[in-house]
Chains A and B, each alone.
Chain A
Amino acid sequence: MALTAIEIYKYLPKTNCKDCGFPTCLAFAMKLAQKGAELSACKHVSEEAKSALEAASRPPIRLVTIGKDGRKVEVGNEVAMFRHEKTFYHQPGLLLRVKDSAAPDKVAQEMAAVASYKVERVGMQLSWNGLAIQNDGGDKAAFLAAVKLAQAHPELALVLMSDDPDTMAAALGDPAVAGRLPLIYAATEANWQKMAALAKQHKCPLAVRAGGLDALATLTEQVAAAGIEDIVVDPGARDFGDSLNALTQIRRLALKKSFRPLGYPVITFPGEKASSQEEEVLLATQHIARYAGVIVLDHFSPAMAYPLLTERLNIYTDPQKPLQMQAGVYPFGKPDPASPLLVTTNFSLTYFSVSSEIESSGFPTWLMVVDTEGQSVLTSWASGKFDAEKISKAAKNFKVEEKIGHRSLVIPGAVAVLRGELEGEFPEWKIMVGPREAVGIGPFLKQNWAR
């Protein structure tokens, strides 16, 4: 939580010695509050005041990193209850749980499926973050074997799940495993001293699990007192209702009450109480929208991964700034002056819906992208940002008439009404109304440009 100048001032020496380069301690405090100065510029603050200030200016939800590079999960440090208030910044990690009791070749296959999965959306490559490996039957050797299988995929974030500190210690004994900075799951009332010692020794983040918020807060305080800062919490809630309840309260306590013992990202397991795979995915959906930091699912398939990754992208976009493209004329497949010319808006989603259809049609094509401040076709049309004047200005700006030999322009079917206006703006042009949906673009080009 950001501190005010007055709150900061209380901790300063109040001698106005000017060593920090500011005329008074208060002036320095004001600069600090605006983040325009560093506390270290004052050599006279006591150690005590320094740590108090640092503690008070810590983010209300700690930023925790699981994993090193590749698909590491960085979660926490959120500042809003609702995305319209600010933005949700740190996308929750999506992981698949594999159990060490399953057949090793099946486990290896699942791991490979997660590792190799990639999907493109609005020009971004999306992928699954990693794996959670559960020590299911309590057999140490089986756990070590499963963890070893995961070493084939060093780019994935890892969660190691065993309540037995000896088993955990054995897995982390391999420097290649510990070096990946896996999340250790979990410290409980029964084992927390040993788990905390392991987390400290290997500098790994530590999950803390307890039933209910009281027990959880007690435990995180103990673990924090043992010197562990990177904590992820599990309140034990597993169903739709109780997890909505628990995750909302944890978020509120952290943001509104600055309640430190629960100011950590939350880990969830949507598959445990689900009665179908759809329910598992829907609970994961709830967890994405409602405050989870690490989501460990029990199933993985492309047909569920793609919608979940899309959900995560939606919830975590900046509500103020739509993703947008640079305006201009884009060539597809080496077009020549005789190739068709289409026009669209610069909202990323619109652009990629259209460009992927042009690409898969295989037709060499020009696509003119008009700056509509990142709005879709109908949104920008309705708000006056995609009209005949804007389109003709863009065409002039991009010197379209020099690139293109013919004089016909294809407009989106959704704005067929623009045709008349455009014919006014471009007297010598032929305005063609394209299909309403981008999927129709391939057949449309084929029909009108086949030679």
Chain B
Amino acid sequence: MPKVEAPVEKWRGRVQEVRLGGDGRKQVTVGGESTLPFLHFDGEIPHRPVIAAEVLDMPPADWAENVVSAWGDALKSPAAWAKKAAQLGADLIFLRLASAHPEQGNTSGAQAAKTVSQVMEATDLPLIVVGPDVAEKDNEVIVAVAEAARGQRLALGTVTDKNYRTIVATAMAGGHAVVAQAPMDMNLSKQLNILCCDVGLPKDSLVMDPTTGALGYGMEYALSVFERLRLAALQGDAMTAMPILCHAGYESWRQKEAKAVEGVPVSWGDQKVRSLLWEQMTALTLLQSGAEIMVLRHPRSMDVVRGVIDRLMARQGPVS
């Protein structure tokens, strides 16, 4: 008889499965776990966490030089960018319709539909498409996108408590899913899930964005919110059981630690190394707290983080 009885947690609940893509496109399913992240000995992990490449519909204005040079000319067109991301092994494309922002060009719904069609031509990966985070414009562009991509099962966003009806109704009509964002609070995430489901959205069409903080900028709060949501889900609360999306790329790369090349202490070290670690460490910490869809910016980070996910998914024999 073994000396050490390895303690196993049996959970009642399970993370909701959500499928994206399909109808001729690749499909990706996330969720379904009956255990905490990567703890294979407690339960099942039917689907590995996935990596989404962040793509903008316009060349980014203020991105760090080392991200810009890593993507090169692809940044000039969202279709080329998405195609390159697919070649680099992304599981999904996270397309941000930044140009629809009233101060960034105020492009129209028709333009958004065109962009999304071009991106869908260029790659068969499933898409997450979000607006510029300005309520009316989000509604305008997302309605047009949902129509153009009917049947392709995108995830549309960003749904918030102030702005959920239109996008949710549009998603339901077009057979899409949504991304619902609440500010750093597990109860607010749960409430928003309830609001969305109350208007008829099926539970398997909802991905949560509980808000991300980068390493050094609120990451530990995000970690605890993710963990508490996941624990509640495993304890059987279906309204906290949606898969989690995490913006490690966006949040890390806007911090000075990732961007600044000069005018910083020598003890910060080489920006090229530091910036990538900032993104990758934020990603790994939050993957281990429950994120299923990790949105990243730098190609190298996508590569490294995927390698680590591989190693965490390789089933380990019992230690004892």
Residues of chain A within 8 A (CB-CB) of B307 are 275, 279
In the complex the two chains form, is A310's CB within 8 Å of B215's CB?
yes
Which of B22-30, B139-147, B308-316 binds A? B308-316
Contact B269 A360 (CB under 8 A): no
Chain A residue at minimum C-beta to C-beta distance from B314: A241
Chain A proximity mask over B254-290: 1 for CB below 8 Å, otherwise 0: 1011001001011111111110111011001100110
Max chain B Cβ within 10 angstroms of own Cβ: one of A249, A278, A349 = A278
- Residues of chain A from 207 to 257 with CB closer than 8 A to chain B in the complex: 212-214, 217-218, 235, 237, 239-242, 244-246, 248-249, 252-253, 256-257
B interface residues, how many (CB within 8 angstroms)? 59
A58 → B minimal CB distance (Å): 19
Q: In angstroms, how far is the closest chain A Cβ from the Cβ of B280?
A: 6
Q: Check if B202 is an interface residue, CB within 8 A of chain A.
A: no
Taking beta carbons and an 8 Å cutoff, which residues of A are in contact with B? 82-84, 117-121, 212-214, 217-218, 235, 237, 239-242, 244-246, 248-249, 252-253, 256-257, 259, 261-262, 275-276, 278-279, 281-282, 285-286, 289-290, 301-308, 310-311, 313-315, 317, 319, 349, 353, 360, 376, 379, 382, 437-439
CB distance from B258 to the nearest CB of A (A): 10
**Could you list which residues of chain B lie within 8 angstroms of chain A, going by C-beta atoms?**
2-7, 38-41, 183-184, 215-221, 223-224, 227-228, 231, 254, 256-257, 260, 263, 265-274, 276-278, 280-281, 284-285, 288-289, 304, 307-308, 311-316, 319-320
Known: A214-B2, A217-B3. A314 touches B267 (CB 8 A): no
Q: How far is A423 from B263 in the complex, measured between Cα atoms in Å? A: 35
Q: In the complex, which residues of chain A have a beta carbon less than 8 angstroms from the beta carbon of B269? A: 301-306
With beta carbons under 8 angstroms apart, the residue of A119, A241, A275, A282 that contacts B38 is A241
Q: Return chain B residues, CB-CB under 8 Å to A314.
A: 215-216, 219-220, 223
- Kindly report which residue of chain B lies nearest to residue A442, judged by CB atoms: B263
Give CA–CA (A248, B7) in the complex, Å. Answer: 10
Beyond A82-B227, A82-B231, A302-B267, is A311–B281 a contact (Cβ under 8 Å)?
yes
Partner of B220, one of A83, A245, A305: A83
CA distance A317 to B221 in the complex (A): 10
Q: In the complex, which of the residues B2, B7, B38 contacts A244, with contact meaning CB atoms closer than 8 Å?
A: B38
Contacts A213-B4, A246-B319, A319-B224; A307 near B311 (Cβ below 8 A): no
A311 / chain B contacts, CB cutoff of 8 Å: 215, 281, 285
Q: Which single member of B4, B276, B308 contacts A214 (CB below 8 Å)?
A: B4
Cβ-defined contact, A382 with B270, below 8 A? no
A124 to chain B, nearest CB (A): 12
Is the pair A307, B257 in contact by a Cβ cutoff of 8 Å? yes
Q: Provide the bound-state CA to CA distance between A185 and B179, in Å.
A: 50
Query: Contact at A302–B266, with CB atoms within 8 Å?
Result: yes
What is the distance, in angstroms, from A231's C-beta to the closest C-beta of chain B? 16
CB distance from A92 to the nearest CB of B (A): 14
The answer to whether A282 and B217 have CB atoms under 8 Å apart is no
Measured CB to CB, the nearest residue on chain B to A276 is B304
The interface residues of chain B lying within 8 Å CB-to-CB of A119 are 265, 267-268
Interface contact A240-B220, CB-CB below 8 Å: no
B268 & A278 in contact (Cβ 8 Å cutoff): no
Alpha-carbon distance A246/B4, docked complex (angstroms)? 12
Instruction: Name the 4 nearest CB pairs between A and B, nearest first.
Output: A303-B269, A302-B269, A303-B273, A213-B320
Q: Could you tell me the distance between the alpha carbons of A307 and B284 in the complex, rounded to whole angstroms?
A: 13
6 new A-B contacts, CB < 8 A, other than A244-B39, A245-B39, are A82-B228, A253-B6, A285-B281, A285-B285, A308-B281, A314-B223
A118 and B267 form a contact (CB under 8 A): yes
Q: Is the CB of A301 within 8 A of B270?
A: yes
Q: Which residue of A lies closest to B184 (CB)?
A: A379
Is B316's CB under 8 angstroms from A307's CB?
Answer: no
How many Å from the CB of A307 to the closest CB on chain B? 5
B267-A84 in contact (CB<8A): no
Could you say which residues of chain A place their CB within 8 Å of the CB of B320?
212-214, 249
Contact, CB under 8 Å: B311 / A239: yes
Contact of A286 among B5, B288, B313 (CB under 8 A): B288
- Whole-angstrom distance between the alpha carbons of A119 and B265 in the complex? 8
Q: Which residues of A contact B277 (CB under 8 A)?
A: 278, 281, 303-304, 307
Pair A252/B38 contact, Cβ less than 8 Å = no
Across-interface contacts of B271 in A (CB, < 8 A): 303
Nearest opposing residue in chain A for B230, CB measure: A82
Partner of B227, one of A84, A249, A304: A84
Evaluate contact between B284 and A237: CB separation under 8 angstroms.
Answer: no
Which of B7, B38, B215, B311 is close to A253, meaning CB atoms less than 8 Å apart? B7
- Nearest Cβ on chain B to A300's Cβ, whole angstroms: 10
Instruction: Name 23 A/B residue pairs within 8 A (Cβ), A-sorted.
Output: A82-B231, A84-B224, A119-B267, A119-B268, A213-B6, A217-B4, A218-B3, A239-B311, A239-B316, A241-B40, A241-B311, A241-B315, A245-B40, A279-B308, A282-B280, A302-B267, A302-B270, A303-B268, A303-B277, A306-B257, A353-B256, A360-B263, A437-B256
Alpha-carbon distance A313/B276, docked complex (angstroms): 19
CB-CB < 8 A to B220: which residues of A? 83, 314-315, 317, 319
CB-CB < 8 A to B38: which residues of A? 241, 244
Report the minimal beta-carbon distance from A220 to chain B, rounded to whole angstroms. 11
| Interfacial chain A residues near B2, Cβ < 8 Å | 214
Interfacial chain B residues near A241, Cβ < 8 Å: 38, 40, 311-316
| B216 nearest CB neighbor, chain A only | A310
Q: Give Cα A303 to B281, complex, Å.
A: 13
- CB pair A252 B7 closer than 8 Å: yes
Query: Is B268 a contact of A282 with CB atoms below 8 Å?
Result: no
Q: Which of B216, B256, B304 contacts A278 (CB 8 A)?
A: B304
In the complex, which residue of chain B has the Cβ closest to the Cβ of A278? B304
* B279 to chain A: closest residue by CB: A307
Residues of A within 8 A of B314 (CB): 241
